[in-house]
Chains A and B, each alone.
Chain A
């Protein structure tokens, strides 16, 4: 169980902030999972998606995009939210969520780039999500 959670902490953190988490953050992620999710067994579909994500780090981004649309209350999204919250409340990563001044044209460009990336991720993610959730 803890091995799986530790692996999730690593792949989720790499996906979210492109960095491996410290041992303290891995521990915190495991503790949060024990506190928040241990009381009920994951559904077969949730378990399949998480197992796939743990084994294929590249798949976390498209799976997140797919689940954002198809399964906003899925266990994957909840666990990603937990890791996001843990990272956001850590001094090393706080600066990455602090707002910065951006010139309006640059803001437009960045939002457009994020939009394109999200759309691309969603296209791949929807297919993968459907395959994993209904294939099991």
Chain B
């Protein structure tokens, strides 16, 4: 594996790769240790082409739409990862086995995949604005250049519309991808009389998406094939794997897969990492001047608690509560809905009765199409044949509004590592998560307001589903950034307090979560931490090759 690198990076997900990038670009030698599970079954099966065409022509479609083991049918309760289609399910392979977790209330998706959970993400990429960062020891100005750097690297599309003050300023933004007719009908009605809705605190506009509307490097703009839940055609949706591929072109970067990092030891001159080689079954050590951990909040917490011998210590956990609301867009009834579309969020809805300077709630409206009708029948009280006929008539006007609510730490939300066997890698992470009655009441009230506002736009709520506490997959807050040098917290520059050489770059360091997907901010923060680290290591600024 050659001489010791300057920096070891754990993980290859959204946070880790966007930390590795500025380190490599600054001329540092980086070794990325990752379990690196890859898709071995479905990737090559899904043909290039629009969803409708694939449906009409491909006799093999059942293999990826339902799965070779019919795993895409699934009868379980709608929970975390409900939208993981068979071609995306590899993302969670081996994760629960290698990272045991116990809980009576929190059932998260974990990933040991190359590229992590963002192999399956919805690519919603709003920036945090000043109000969102109120509880953070860093300001928006600290993040702003890194939002720009990451946006230029990964490609973010969006519009300068009514949502601009809520989704954060961003110069390096591509034009918005086009929304489909279902969302377009809602937006047209909104445009006829936005003032009244604004008075009630409701704002609509284009979502910020990590989906290209213009070419970027060798990646293509979306072709509106509506295949985004099934394939990565043209690489138009950002996946961290694309960055790993780019990093691999640099001689200063080494990707070492099949390594499960177990622990680190912080020494006077650097850091030693213990990892299990999953193929050889051996334990090996890696040394470097600095360690950057971006293994995903839960995995990072596990590594840190184990390394610091903090078994049995509770750390806080936050995760955006999620609600799915099935919507019927009356203004769209009767349309064929056959225009080209992408599969991700078509519309962003913001509920901000006190404007952008106070906390607000963000939701995303998806048209229901390429996830197939049979899924809707699963929980419906309709007989299958008539249900299918009714859904066929209504499907162009059906939508799903996904609301994610802000979350703050409370004593009822925590995780704790309990010791397993001698090797340490079978320690069990115990997680408990409960919302207080007041928190739930606030969520209910906001949702009622949003539903009322959308009704004015002739969009009716048919059903509300609460998919369970971990469903948003937005995990954070276990090692919060703090100016106080307290144990199990991180400094504003990402360094783990109590260590000299260990940095954390994923959601663990976010003290709380506003009502927004955290991933874009996590990537920007990883870029910020790594840029500071590169500077502190005195690295030469040289262009990435």
Contact = CB atoms under 8 A, between A and B. Distances in A.
Interface in A79-136: 80-82, 84-86, 88-91, 94-104, 107, 110-111, 114, 117-118, 121-122, 125
A40 interface: no
B383 A118 contact: yes
Contact of B377 (A73, A84, A102, A110): A84
Contacts of A61: 383, 385
A57 interface: no
Interface residues of A, number: 46
A45 interface: no
Given A81-B377, A94-B56, A35 B69 contact: yes
Interface of A: 15-16, 28, 31-32, 35-36, 61, 64-65, 68-69, 72-73, 77-78, 80-82, 84-86, 88-91, 94-104, 107, 110-111, 114, 117-118, 121-122, 125
Interface of B: 52, 55-59, 61-62, 65-66, 69-70, 72-73, 75, 333-338, 372-374, 377-390, 392-393, 395-396
B372 A89 contact: yes
Contact of B388 (A16, A86, A100): A16
A35 B334 contact: no
B372 A118 contact: no
Given A94-B55, A100-B336, A85 B374 contact: yes
A85 B66 contact: yes
Q: Which of B382, B383, B385 has the most CB of A within 10 A?
A: B383
A16 B385 contact: yes
B98 to A, nearest CB: 25
A91 B59 contact: yes
Contacts of A98: 52, 55, 338, 392
A72 B57 contact: no
28 contacts: A15-B385, A64-B385, A65-B383, A73-B75, A77-B384, A78-B75, A80-B384, A81-B384, A84-B374, A84-B384, A85-B66, A89-B55, A89-B61, A91-B57, A91-B59, A94-B55, A94-B56, A98-B392, A99-B337, A99-B338, A99-B396, A100-B392, A103-B334, A107-B334, A117-B386, A121-B386, A122-B383, A125-B383
Contacts of A16: 384-385, 388
Given A81-B384, A95-B56, A118-B386, A110 B334 contact: no
Nearest to A90: B62
